[in-house]
């Protein structure tokens, strides 16, 4: 089965073997009361484990020739065992129905709305009925290893209906896209036109403070991409900000030299976008002409302040072509104010592109795929690390297939939302994925490298502070888990399945920097990084899409005009012309309402993907009363309370790393 064919399987009752409690040899559903290391079992058991892996390796095949991500190591097929649970499908399709209803309704003057709204409303009713039916079935059969034949039939109908709805939604979407050039707006763009796109979905609260400078700075430490900000001990020559300019913004009691020396300067540089930020316009059939930018932006922490404030923005890499814009707070200086707002928009567009292709898709989704593949191919079901990792890798391959076919294909959502040609987006996403260094990117190492690890130097960094809480809790949990099965470092070096796993990730998986694991401490670091990236890191960069990136006037993947070259002539009208096409804005609402709205299986739950979702960790040494798993869950509860308390004192609550809002895996 080719990867693209898996979407057809999701619409077929024939794919219900796993969902109905019939685990495949690759499924975590096989009960393992006490996992064992391969070097500690008898020869017959060892032979059976090898045969199991041979079968798994014939099913999970690597490819670097995916239709829309050539060069990136991925699974050549998505086995049926990777299909999401029915509950997950219901949650996702319910969100999709809401999003597509709004999408159709936003064509207020078009026959598209009237032609499709009734059909969509019927789908919403149908989904609600299916959810109620499944809830009843689950309650009646909870705890059973297999379901009665009658229930299996009903589940087949349920899965088929979910697939039918998915197919219909896709067809409706294609019908909407096929109506001609929907990207143009009649006459000048206005903010009201974008607000009007929220018809059946609430407009996000961020729309009320769209131009707020503090909000703009906050996005660097608590927005969708809190991963690029770095401390600057000096400014690069390509960003020639003068001390007088700095003082104009920050006041005469501060200076550029003092701010640099005391560690109060922080820089954003979007040079890493590469070819995703072409110097000229890009024209596409559905959205017309648009632009993307590669700005440099400076932020500072005031002498007596906790939080960053924006200082200056250069809208491109070459200072000879892109003058520096200074922060303006005074709206009465209209030209300077709107010049500054336009400069901020270049940063938001650049950040959107950097976030979606690199921070989100490449570094969480595609990294999880590599670990899912290697785990299935090299760690037997009875291996302790298979038990630990499988729930954290659940759904990654399936959702990645949706992403590559529905977001990364020509004339689909990503092609509409983002500016660069789709082939360039594919290439640059792949480039960044292959350049992502595993050890250097571990949370503590990344924070240290970017110079943002010191909470006294940068007190207001909610992503950092909450992420470290979760990282440390995972590290403690993994340390206890590893110590249960690996009694010494020699157990690590003697684990030939682990050695093959590490080798495969470095070679077939092309995980930069990945190397042989020789100590328990190193193994704990590796497992902590994998679990954190698949769960908390993905949550931190995925779920802000709902509250931030559905609103195109604040965050968009394309600009409607070139970047400003000066304040002269700048106005609200000139700023609004920088907004993306109407269709791109509609697609953002559609996509991010779905991606940012589905929470499934929170961190700390170790259950199988097959109904009735039995526990995966059965060893009393792990799951027994007062054991490592219970301690981990208790630690997550403490973190939940700690973040809640922190949020009462923060200027804006940061909720994306509340453990209750962190799914265990990259499953949406």
Answer for the pair 352, 342: CB distance below 8 angstroms, yes or no: no
CA dihedral 603, 366, 29, 59 (to 10 degrees): 180
Closest listed residue to residue 617, CA positions, set 440, 388, 378: 388
Answer for the pair 354, 220: CB distance below 8 angstroms, yes or no: no
**CATH code of the domain covering residue 240:** 3.10.450.60
What is the pLDDT at residue 148? 56
Q: Tell me the pLDDT tens digit for each residue of 91-106.
A: 888 888 888 888 888 8
In-domain check, residue 327: yes
**pLDDT band at 120, cuts 50/70/90?**
low
Place of tokens 């999880």: 368
Q: Tell me the pLDDT tens digit for each residue of 596-633.
A: 999 999 999 999 887 778 899 999 999 999 999 999 99
In-domain check, residue 585: no
Supply 22's token pair: 């019939």
What is the pLDDT at residue 41? 97
Using CA atoms, how far residue 623 sits from 392, 608, 662, in Å, is 17, 15, 21
List CB contacts of 1: < 8 A, sequence separation 6 or more: 9, 77, 78
Q: How far apart are CA 306 and CA 610, in angstroms?
A: 48
Given a cut of 80, is residue 588 above it in pLDDT? yes
Q: Tell me the pLDDT tens digit for each residue of 48-92.
A: 999 999 999 999 999 999 999 999 999 999 998 888 877 887 788
What one-character-per-residue DSSP string does 275-323 give?
Answer: GGS-SS-EEETTTEEEB----EEEEE--TT-SS-EEEEEESSS-TTTSP
In-domain check, residue 226: yes
What one-character-per-residue DSSP string does 211-239 give?
Answer: T-HHHHHHHHHHSS-TTS-EE-SS--TTS
**pLDDT band at 227, cuts 50/70/90?**
very high
In-domain check, residue 273: yes
Q: Tell me the pLDDT tens digit for each residue of 433-492.
A: 999 999 999 999 999 999 999 999 999 999 999 999 999 999 999 999 999 999 999 999
In-domain check, residue 307: yes
Percent of the chain exceeding pLDDT 70 equals 85
What is the pLDDT at residue 60? 97
Mean pLDDT in residue range 409-437: 95
What is the pLDDT at residue 105? 85
Given a cut of 80, is residue 6 above it in pLDDT? no
Mean pLDDT in residue range 365-392: 98
What one-character-per-residue DSSP string does 639-656 give?
Answer: HHHHHHHHHHHSSS---T
Listed range (182-186, 347-351, 652-656) with the worst mean pLDDT: 182-186
Supply 550's token pair: 């559905």
Secondary structure of 365-431 as H, E, C letters = HHHHHHHHHHHHHHCCCCCHHHHHHHHHHCCHHHHHHHHHHHHCCCCCHHHHHCCCCHHHHHHHHHH
Supply 116's token pair: 């499709």
In-domain check, residue 62: no
In-domain check, residue 481: no
pTM of the full structure: 0.93
Boundaries of domain holding 343: 209-347
Q: How far apart are CA 510 and CA 505, in angstroms?
A: 6
What is the pLDDT at residue 653? 97
Given a cut of 80, is residue 125 above it in pLDDT? no
Mean pLDDT in residue range 421-425: 96
Supply 615's token pair: 């526990």
Given a cut of 60, is residue 24 above it in pLDDT? no
Q: Tell me the pLDDT tens digit for each residue of 229-256.
A: 999 999 999 999 999 999 999 999 999 9
In-domain check, residue 261: yes
Using CA atoms, how far residue 209 sits from 212, 215, 386, 514, in Å, is 5, 8, 47, 44
Place of tokens 């024209």: 283
* Count of domains observed in the chain: 1
Q: How far apart are CA 29 and CA 381, in angstroms?
A: 9
Q: Strand, helix or coil at 437?
A: strand
Using CA atoms, how far residue 288 sits from 69, 237, 273, 291, 350, in Å, is 25, 36, 22, 10, 19
């Amino acid at each position: 089965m080719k990867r693209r064919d898996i979407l057809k399987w999701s619409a077929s009752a024939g794919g219900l073997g796993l969902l109905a409690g019939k685990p495949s040899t690759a499924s975590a559903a096989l009960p393992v009361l006490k996992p064992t290391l391969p070097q500690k079992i008898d020869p017959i058991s060892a032979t059976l484990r090898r045969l199991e892996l041979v079968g798994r390796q014939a099913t999970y095949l690597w490819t670097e020739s995916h239709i829309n991500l050539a060069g990136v190591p991925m699974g050549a097929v998505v086995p049926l065992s990777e299909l999401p649970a029915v509950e997950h499908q219901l949650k996702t399709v319910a969100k999709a129905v809401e999003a597509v209803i709004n999408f159709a309704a936003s064509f207020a003057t078009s026959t598209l709305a009237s032609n499709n709204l009734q059909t969509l409303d019927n789908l919403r009713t149908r989904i609600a009925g299916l959810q109620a039916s499944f809830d009843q079935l689950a309650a009646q059969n909870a705890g059973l290893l297999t379901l009665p034949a009658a229930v299996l039939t009903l589940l087949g109908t349920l899965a088929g209906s979910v697939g039918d709805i998915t197919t219909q939604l896709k067809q409706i979407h294609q019908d909407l896209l096929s109506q001609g050039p929907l990207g143009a707006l009649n006459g000048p763009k206005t903010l009201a036109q974008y607000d009007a796109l929220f018809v059946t979905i609430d407009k996000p609260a961020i729309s009320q403070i769209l131009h707020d400078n503090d909000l703009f700075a906050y996005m660097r430490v608590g927005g969708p991409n809190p991963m690029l900000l770095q401390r600057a001990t000096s400014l690069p020559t390509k960003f020639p900000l003068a001390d007088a300019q700095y003082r104009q913004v920050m006041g005469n009691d501060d200076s550029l030299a003092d701010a640099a020396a005391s560690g109060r300067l922080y820089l954003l540089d979007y040079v890493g976008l590469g070819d995703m930020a072409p110097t000229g316009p890009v024209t596409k059939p559905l959205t017309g002409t648009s632009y993307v930018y590669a700005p440099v932006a400076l932020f500072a922490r005031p002498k007596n302040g906790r939080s960053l404030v924006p200082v200056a923005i250069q809208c491109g890499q070459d200072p000879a072509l892109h003058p520096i814009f200074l922060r303006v707070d005074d709206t009465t200086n209209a030209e300077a104010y709107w010049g500054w707002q336009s400069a901020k928009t270049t940063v938001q567009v650049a950040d959107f592109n950097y976030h979606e292709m690199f921070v989100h898709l490449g570094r969480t989704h595609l990294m999880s795929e590599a670990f899912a593949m290697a785990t299935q191919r090299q760690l037997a079901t009875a291996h302790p690390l298979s038990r630990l990792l499988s729930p954290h890798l659940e759904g990654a391959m399936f959702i990645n297939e949706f992403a590559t076919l529905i977001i990364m294909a020509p004339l689909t959502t990503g092609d509409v939302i983002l500016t660069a040609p789709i082939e360039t987006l594919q290439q640059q996403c792949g480039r960044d994925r292959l350049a992502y260094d595993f050890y250097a990117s571990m949370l503590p190492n990344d924070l240290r490298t970017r110079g943002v690890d010191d909470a006294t130097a940068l007190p207001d960094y909610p992503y950092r502070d909450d992420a470290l809480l979760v990282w440390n809790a995972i590290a403690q949990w993994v340390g206890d888990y590893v110590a249960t099965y690996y009694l010494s470092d020699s157990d690590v070096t003697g684990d030939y399945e682990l050695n093959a796993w590490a080798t495969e990730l470095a070679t077939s998986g092309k995980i930069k920097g990945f190397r042989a694991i020789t100590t328990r401490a190193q193994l704990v670091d590796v497992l902590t990084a994998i679990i954190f990236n698949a769960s908390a890191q993905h949550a931190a960069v995925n779920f802000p899409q709902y509250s931030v990136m559905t609103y195109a006037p604040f965050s968009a993947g394309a600009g409607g005009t070139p970047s400003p070259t000066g304040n002269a002539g700048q106005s609200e009208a000139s700023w609004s012309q920088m907004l993306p096409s109407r269709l791109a804005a509609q697609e953002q609402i559609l996509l991010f309402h779905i991606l940012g709205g589905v929470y499934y299986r929170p961190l700390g739950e170790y259950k199988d993907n097959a109904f009735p979702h039995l526990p995966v960790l059965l060893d009393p040494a792990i799951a027994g009363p007062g054991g490592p798993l219970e301690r981990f869950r208790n630690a997550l509860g403490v973190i939940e309370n700690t973040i809640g308390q922190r949020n009462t004192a923060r200027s804006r609550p940061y909720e994306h790393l509340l453990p209750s809002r962190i799914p265990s895996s990259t499953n949406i």
